A and B are shown apart, each in its own frame.
Chain A
Amino acid sequence: MVFSVNHPLLFLLALIPVVGVLAQSVYFLVKALRRGREIGMDAGKIRKTVRTAAIFTIAPAVSIVISVITLSKTLGIPLPWLRLSVVGSLSYEAIAASNALGAMGLELGKVGSLTAQQYVNITLVMTISIMVGIWLVPVVCKRLLGGMSRLGARDAKWADIFQSAMFIGMIAAFLGYVFCDFSRLWAPVEGYSPTSGLVPVCVMAVSAFVMLLCGLAMKVLKWSWVNDYALPISLVLGMVSAIPITAWLG
């Protein structure tokens, strides 16, 4: 059988884990919905959670499709489709593929067409390197969450603060990341305009402002429905604002 990175068999092989991921998601969704009903959770709130999660996911998912397109130019369609439907990201897959090819004395993007052996090496490096979370979660999840429960039983207030601190810590790291190119203002980098580091900062500010407006609409105008869409609205408007802001600041 002659190998090609877009061989129909590869699509079929990639489809199997993709269906597995879908099945796992549906299984946990049904399990949580049933348990929610059992303990008498408000059906309206659950519907709202489903709706908001689905709407919120659209824009980030489209950006994942763009990553699939980017990687498909060198790796074909089936492998990026599989890798980005399960654990994976554009930067990770590109680094793993580049390292796997580099070990064979080749360079990603400069190989005319991959051989089956090169392809197998790339997929093995990608798969084995990123597997940690999948097996480690079953090993430590119960113990970690048990620890959190014991903390809650000992001191409920501190447990709540602890949980909020974890969320805030994660958000703070990403807020810091938004400013990572800010120093271009006084330390220019070749190929970038000095103001280019302000683009993510301005986009973040637009998104934050939209979120504030949504909060105002809820409080002043009593538009409670805005609550369901506040995050997706601020995300999409923030992304849209990046187009003129980038044209302006570079």
Chain B
Amino acid sequence: MRDTNTYMDSVHRDGRIWNIGMMLLLILFPVSVAFLFGAAPDWGALALGLLATAPMYWAVGIIETFTFVPMLGAGGSYLSFVTGNISNLKLPCALNALEQNEVSASSEEGEIVSTIAIAVSSIVTTVIILIGVICIVPLTPILEAPVLEPAFAQMLPALFGGLGVAFVSKNWKIAVAPVVLMLILFIFVPALNAGTVGIMVPVSVLFTIAVSRILYQKGVL
């Protein structure tokens, strides 16, 4: 039996190869379009467009990487940062799997469970999107029906209601302070909304770690 370190080393090696490969494939799309249709980019407009978009997303991307990697594990991180939809799909899916199997995220079993859950979720998502694209004409009137609109608009509250009960009930001493802080901030600071929740995740995580450390040192946890 290979030892844990060898397995983890191979996950990091393969993950690096896959992610760099995927990065090249993603860049290949605009480059191929430009080449095949004889359309060079408008460089000035490209620079302006990047200036308006990239700094904010790079900052969020860097913060998300440092926040989510310790939660997702190695295999889960390499996959999730390629497939996207981390906080609204991949991470809840991994958390649910860890919870059901009663394994710690930092153990090797946790690493395996988290990777399996995220890989399956990525495959199912990709296949469903593919089916959606193939059947886009008949599906559009159904999925865009006004009656269904509120259901899909409220996916995040429906997701975190269930997930919140599962996690907060088991860790209520850790949860009280960050939940109260986030409620106060989101209710009373108008600038905080759906667009800024991604920025608030690391703030909340750091605050929760600090409170947990104090509670741990005082022997409450």
Q: Evaluate contact between B81 and A177: CB separation under 8 angstroms.
A: no
User: Bound complex: CA of A72 vs CA of B36, how far in Å?
Assistant: 21
Q: Evaluate contact between A87 and B83: CB separation under 8 angstroms.
A: yes
Selected from A9, A64, A117, the residue in CB contact (under 8 A) with B40 is A117
Q: A-facing mask of B45-75, CB < 8 A → 1, else 0?
A: 1111110111001100110111101110111
Selected from B14, B69, B153, the residue in CB contact (under 8 A) with A137 is B69
Within 8 A of B (CB), among A71-120: 72, 77, 81-82, 84-89, 91-92, 95-96, 99-104, 115-120
Residues of B within 8 A of A32 (CB): 75, 111-112, 115-116, 119
Residues of B within 8 A of A131 (CB): 23, 26, 61
Q: Evaluate contact between B45 and A65: CB separation under 8 angstroms.
A: no
Counting chain B residues whose Cβ lies within 8 A of the other chain, the interface size class is 35 or more
Q: Evaluate contact between A149 and B112: CB separation under 8 angstroms.
A: no
User: Bound complex: CA of A231 vs CA of B39, how far in Å?
Assistant: 48
User: Bound complex: CA of A141 vs CA of B121, how far in Å?
Assistant: 21
User: Bound complex: CA of A238 vs CA of B151, how far in Å?
Assistant: 8
Selected from B25, B49, B109, B171, the residue in CB contact (under 8 A) with A39 is B109
Q: Evaluate contact between B162 and A208: CB separation under 8 angstroms.
A: yes
Selected from A104, A116, A179, the residue in CB contact (under 8 A) with B45 is A104
Within 8 A of A (CB), among B1-49: 1-2, 7-8, 10-12, 14-16, 18-23, 25-30, 32-34, 36-42, 44-49
Q: Evaluate contact between A99 and B82: CB separation under 8 angstroms.
A: no
21 A-B pairs with CB atoms under 8 Å apart are A17-B22, A17-B29, A21-B82, A39-B108, A52-B117, A57-B121, A60-B88, A89-B85, A91-B195, A102-B49, A103-B47, A120-B34, A129-B54, A140-B69, A161-B174, A176-B179, A176-B182, A177-B194, A178-B161, A207-B160, A241-B158
